[in-house]
Amino acid sequence: MQKQDPYAALRFKEFNIFLLVRFFLVFGWSMQFIVIEWEVYSITKDPWSLGLIGLMEVIPAVSMALFAGHIVDQREKRNLLAICIAFFSLISFGLFLLTSPEITANWSQKSVLYSIYGLVFFGGFLRSFFGPTIFSLVALIVPKKIYPNAATWSSSTWQTATILGPAFAGFTINWIGVHWSLCVIFALVLLSFLILFFIPKKPILNPKIGENVWKSLGEGIKFVASEKAVLGALTLDMIAVLFGGAVALLPVFAQDILEVGSQGFGMLRAAPAVGAVLTMLVTAYIPISKNAGLKLLGAIFGFGVCIIIFGLSTMFWISLIALFFSGVFDGVSMVIRQTILQLKTPDEMRGRVASVNSMFVGSSNELGAFESGLTAKLMGTVTAVVFGGTMTLITVITTGLISPTFRNLDLTEDVKAHEALES
């Protein structure tokens, strides 16, 4: 087997353009979510309102996910992503208008709050298209044999954006306020839209164009259910993220428990992503395909321990370190999961499989925000976070005990097969 080239995917010009588009898009999206969280909690002073943000996004994202996957498999990917970004820019511009002095002076706080929830809700519909489109597009840009390396760099770019986005949001809220922070987000989204057109249109690889939507959806679900590696990874990560969604309560910790203000909030929000991106960069040099199942179980277990430590901490630096290491473990989990999906999914089904992935994992972030907001309302903030971390540990232990097949999952042969196929 050839020595791994850590920069294999970066040697393709279109992939570098793709990474730039994804960076600006995710930077703007993650920054926008933080600004919205801050503004909503500032209006309500109620952790339940933070849970509602997640609920408003997850309902349309889940309900539309499978249909979005079908549409993605039937359409040209570059232009479809351009349409998604264009609509995202409209949502960002709407939030910018909602926080303008003219609106806030003449509208009631309740009207502004409900309008924010409304735009988040429509953003959930839009989000159901983003994941499948991006997942499908990257597979058309790089050869199959470097999918693991492309997954590492793509995930690293995503995490880097989620480092800088929340941190920058925390600082811009302090420097220029919520309103102009949203203007910056709008500009970033427009920039990603323009850069995208440096990638040429791509062929549609699905041989069943025009297939009945229900039959198409059934095939996607059947594939995921029958592919145990994919199903196991998605289920495990969904449960872990669902119960480990402590980041949704960070405004409460920053303002009321740790008392560190908007700058401290930005640091806390960025800490997990810092840990994750450093881990992902290491995996570009040290492949983690061997014993992937065991490594995924260990990573999510470590994530749960870090969430418990964060929940119990009353010291800023301990909380920061706990969140950093939660990101380290999450980074390992993300690279393994993306590698499994890229290696195991046929080209013509990428949109539908990515949609199921978004239902399992992507939407579990919002469900986790809702679960955290609800349990914080019922149990108290600290108890809610510790409960979530504990449930994550129980999930990992249970999965490891009852599923030896997943525990022994190894991707080494899959990687070798793709290398042999394209050599």
Residues 29-87 have pLDDT tens digits of: 888 988 888 888 888 877 777 777 877 887 887 778 777 777 887 788 899 999 999 99
pLDDT at 395 > cutoff 60: yes
Flag whether pLDDT at 187 surpasses 70: yes
pLDDT mean across residues, the chain: 80
pLDDT at 184 over 90: yes
Q: Look at residue 1 in the predicted model and tell me its pLDDT.
A: 43
pLDDT-derived band of residue 5, with 50, 70 and 90 as boundaries? confident
Q: What global pTM score does this model have?
A: 0.70
| CATH (residue range 9-196+208-422) | 1.20.1250.20
Mean pLDDT of the 271-293 span: 76
For the residues 90-102, what does the mean pLDDT come to?
90
Q: Can you give the three-state secondary structure of the chain, one letter per residue?
A: CCCCCCCCHHHCHHHHHHHHHHHHHHHHHHHHHHHHHHHHHHHHCCHHHHHHHHHHHHHHHHHHHHHHHHHHHHCCHHHHHHHHHHHHHHHHHHHHHHCCHHHHHHCCHHHHHHHHHHHHHHHHHHHHHHHHHHHHHHHCCCCHHHHHHHHHHHHHHHHHHHHHHHHHHHHHHHHCHHHHHHHHHHHHHHHHHHHHCCCCCCCCCCCCCCCCHHHHHHHHHHHHHHCHHHHHHHHHHHHHHHHCCHHHHHHHHHHHHCCCHHHHHHHHHHHHHHHHHHHHHHHCCCCCCCCHHHHHHHHHHHHHHHHHHHHHCCCHHHHHHHHHHHHHHHHHHHHHHHHHHHHHCCHHHHHHHHHHHHHHHHHHHHHHHHHHHHHHHHHCHHHHHHHHHHHHHHHHHHHHHHCHHHHCCCCHHHHHHHHHHHC
* Segments making up each domain of the chain, as ranges: 9-196+208-422
